[in-house]
Amino acid sequence: MFGNTAYVASRAKSRRNKLADLARMRQLIHQSPDQLTVAVSNIGYSDEINLYAGKFNGGDLVEAALTHNLESELEEIVSMCNGKVKSLVEVYTSRFEYQNAKVVLRAVMNDVDLDKVSHSILPELNQINTPWLKIIENSDELRSAVTQMRRKSFGSSLMALPEDARLSDYEDALDRHYFSVATKALSSTKPSARYLRNYLAMEIDHRNILNILEAQSVGINSEDISELLIPGGRMLPSSSFSSIAAGGKDSMMDILRSSSKLDFAEFEQLLSRSKDVRSLDPVITWFKNQEHKFMQRMSYLHPVSALPIIHYICMKVQEVADLRIIVRGRLAGLPEDVLEAHIM
């Protein structure tokens, strides 16, 4: 049955309109840490706050509630879809399994207490997280965790790495596998598939640019930088990788300067600001805004398709990310202007 596309797209749009806007987020920033739990509960997370209130408090309570709500929302919205629309939506939502794999690997690598993970990023009361938590519990080093993931869609890519592979090697392999599989799944010439393919290409370009900038800042040589790059971008196509391997950041800047897909003057200004604050945060925030604008545009151009559904999921994920930043930041005593600069 393909006929429920209009219904699901309409539901997604309705839910998107209920998400907290920037003005509401700014109001939350001005709340005291003690007020934040109630404030977050009042914008759509009351069921999850109540669910975890008997187990956690403070930041742990809000973190667990946010994650549980997001996981349940993703599961529900995907279950509403069917046919080709569902396949397209799952191209986007499949990334969250890769993110969970990264969470598990980081927890094992850094010997993070299982309770800490189950109280926040992978809340234990949601059965979706049980297999992931068991991997953490049963692993004493990275390779052990990877072996337990061998039957996942990306398992063979992880197992193909050397026994002594680093965490970053596994994370890079996960990124490469996701974007490779996702791009191949979008071979259709239909507008919704084409727009989503272009969106993924934008994400790939942004990741590659950030990887080059980060690698250069820590002294990684140009040849090694090229190994970090993910194929599939449009601003930095695969054909440019050999040039970047030879010239590093300078070659990248030359390529981007001639690209019609990037406001190079603004990009240079952001790089200058990043240098002043010794952080790539200004560039990262700008890239995120560009991605959101593209997602919004493709959603509006094709209102009865998978795109408004994916747009809602994207904005829901961003809402949860912003709320996490606010909660963590307020509890850590960060200045309000710093928090405002990091929310979307």
Q: Residue 223: its pLDDT value, please? A: 74
| CATH superfamily label, 1-81+306-344 | ATP synthase (C/AC39) subunit, domain 3 (1.10.132.50)
Summarised one tens digit per residue, pLDDT across range 332-342 is 999 999 899 88
Q: Residue 240: its pLDDT value, please? A: 95
Q: How far apart are CA 142 and CA 106, in angstroms?
A: 9
Summarised one tens digit per residue, pLDDT across range 26-59 is 999 999 888 999 999 999 999 999 999 998 988 8
Given a cut of 70, whether residue 2 has pLDDT beyond it is: no
Summarised one tens digit per residue, pLDDT across range 196-219 is 999 999 999 999 999 999 988 888
Torsion-angle region of 266 (φ positive above 0: left; ψ -120 to 50: alpha; else: beta): alpha
| pTM for the full predicted model | 0.93
Given a cut of 50, whether residue 1 has pLDDT beyond it is: no
Q: Residue 165: its pLDDT value, please? A: 95
Q: Residue 6: its pLDDT value, please? A: 94
Distance of CA 300 to CAs 83, 195, 239, 308, Å? 22, 12, 33, 7
Place of tokens 């999921």: 313
Q: Residue 3: its pLDDT value, please? A: 63
Average pLDDT over residues 295-320: 96
Summarised one tens digit per residue, pLDDT across range 125-180 is 999 999 999 999 999 999 999 999 999 999 999 999 999 999 999 999 999 999 99
Domain residue extents for the chain: 1-81+306-344, 94-166+173-185, 186-304
Percent of the chain whose pLDDT exceeds 70: 99
Q: Residue 288: its pLDDT value, please? A: 95
User: Max CA-CA distance within the chain?
Assistant: 57
Q: Which is nearest to 281 in space by CA: 233, 325, 234?
A: 325
Q: Residue 339: its pLDDT value, please? A: 92
